[in-house]
Structures are given as C-alpha cells and as structure tokens.
C-alpha cells in the first residue's frame, strides 16, 4: 500500500497492492476518483478530494502527511 496526504490541495491518495496502470479503470464521483481493476472490479486505488473534511484526522496524520510541500514524494510500485 502506498499513499500520502497533501494539506495544500487537501487531497489524499491511496494505492493498494496490485495497482497497475494498464489494468486500472477510473470512476469519477463528486468527491473522489476510484480506481478499479478492469477485469475483476477489485479496488486498487482512491484519490479523495477535501480529505481533511471526509477522512478521520488520525488516518491523515498517521499515514499520509507529507513532511513539507517542497519535498517530492517518490511513489514505489505496489
């Protein structure tokens, strides 16, 4: 699992194991992008907008907060 939260944009990203750009189907909702496996429908990722309002603060602080906004976060394959 990989993810982070950007306070500046108030967006949280989460990618689960098995995420593969070639297999992802994106569904747009009013508050998020949901990424699913094209063939199985399995949830592979989520981009949550207005995350500070929608997600528990403990989740955002514990796992996803980038240390500074000028630091690039390199994503690793799942």
User: Is residue 77 in some structural domain?
Assistant: no
CA distance 74 to 66: 11
Mind listing the pLDDT tens digit for each residue in 1-21? 778 888 899 999 888 877 778
- Given this model, what pLDDT does residue 4 score? 85
- Given this model, what pLDDT does residue 5 score? 87
Residue 18 maps to which CATH number?
A: 2.60.40
Q: Domain count of the chain?
A: 1
User: Is residue 78 in some structural domain?
Assistant: no
Which stretches of 1-78 are DSSP H helices? 51-54, 57-59
Range of the domain at 43: 2-64
CA distance 9 to 66: 12
The answer to whether residue 78 scores a pLDDT higher than 90 is no
User: Is residue 69 in some structural domain?
Assistant: no
> CB-based contacts of 28: which residues, under 8 Å, 6+ apart?
34
Helix then strand then coil, in percent of the chain rounded to 5, is 15, 35, 45
- Given this model, what pLDDT does residue 63 score? 58
Mind listing the pLDDT tens digit for each residue in 18-73? 777 888 999 999 999 999 999 999 999 999 999 999 988 887 876 555 544 444 44
């Amino acid at each position: 699992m990989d993810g982070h939260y950007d306070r500046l944009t108030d967006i949280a990203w989460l990618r689960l194991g098995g995420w593969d750009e070639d297999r992802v189907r994106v569904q747009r909702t009013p508050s998020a992008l949901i990424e699913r496996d094209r063939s199985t429908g399995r949830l592979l990722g989520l981009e949550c907008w207005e995350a500070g309002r929608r997600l528990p603060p403990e989740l955002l602080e514990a796992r996803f907060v980038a240390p500074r906004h000028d630091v690039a976060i390199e994503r690793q394959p799942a």
